[in-house]
Structure 1
Amino acid sequence: MRRPSLYEHLKVLREAGLVSEQRSGRQRIHRLEAAPLAEVQDWLQPYERFWRGRLKDLGALLDRMPDDGVT
């Protein structure tokens, strides 16, 4: 990835509050801001539990189905 593209991505992440930037002379140090991601994870948790259960049920159903040998 070229530097201008990288900085464009970092700019979007910075504007979203997911990355912070500290300048030190000519260097720019970027840090991940994990707190917003924890909020997203908390919001998604009920859906994850729902889909994890559904996929487990699907796997159990597929395990019970006879294997007809067709691939």
Structure 2
Amino acid sequence: MATIGDQLQTYRTALAEAQARGDVAIARKIEQQIKDLEDFQQRHPDEAVAPSPLEVFCDLNPSDINCLVYDD
């Protein structure tokens, strides 16, 4: 499993490649993913394993319909 640091490095590499190609939309999306993951890392300093994009999203948006958990 990848660490948060590894995932950030992967995102930064992808960002540099997107910027080199001039793909502004992809670069913006990757910049947002980097920001969100860095925010996640600040809120969970003891977390070592990189979370999935859905985990990061739900951490930022716990009341979103896609993140709600129901007990039956």
Q: Which has the higher contact order (CA 8 A, sep 6+)?
A: 2
1 or 2, which has the higher strand percentage? 1
User: If the length of structure 1 is used for normalisation, what is the TM-score?
Assistant: 0.34
